[in-house]
Amino acid sequence: MLSIIRTYQTGCCAGSATSPLGNNEVTTMNWLNDQSEMIGYCAGTLTTIAFLPQVIRTWRAGGQALSGLMLALFGTGVSLWFVYGFLRNSRPIMLANGVTDLQVLVILVLKLRRANRIKSA
């Protein structure tokens, strides 16, 4: 399998009479390559939506049980993924991680507001 991927990436057998890849395998790999942006958008949509219930729960119940360190580490990681997407000029990576970073920011603000209300009461 690794040789198939390597052959596809380098195109080393373009001039040879016999290709180690059958036409069906090349067509499948080309189709996947052509769909890479759509795959990225689908993956980003699913992972971003997966974090939405946590935002809703924090909105309703507060974020006392959430670790501030976890939010900071997660937000930093997501921000770095956004930068990586920017450097790679990958819209799906930037969009998914930008929206997820906004969700983390909302959760952090809610957590801090609730913590201040509890201290002042």
Local confidence band at 8 (pLDDT 50, 70, 90 cut-offs)? very low
pLDDT, average across residues 90-119: 90
Same domain, 100 and 115: yes
Measured CA to CA, the distance from residue 84 to residue 66 in angstroms comes to 27
Same domain, 1 and 29: yes
pLDDT for residue 26:
60
The count of domains in the chain is: 2
Same domain, 27 and 62: no
Same domain, 76 and 110: yes
Residue type, 42: C
For residue 2, what are the domain limits?
A: 1-34
| Alpha carbon distances (Å) from 110 to 50, 60, 74 | 19, 10, 16
pLDDT for residue 106:
92
pLDDT tens-digit series, residues 19-62: 555 666 566 678 777 888 899 999 999 999 998 999 999 888 87
Same domain, 29 and 63: no
Same domain, 45 and 77: yes
Same domain, 30 and 44: no
pLDDT tens-digit series, residues 87-104: 999 999 999 999 999 999
pLDDT, average across residues 69-84: 94
pLDDT for residue 4:
45
Please say whether the beta carbons of 90 and 40 come within 8 A: yes
pLDDT for residue 88:
95
Same domain, 91 and 67: yes
Same domain, 115 and 60: yes
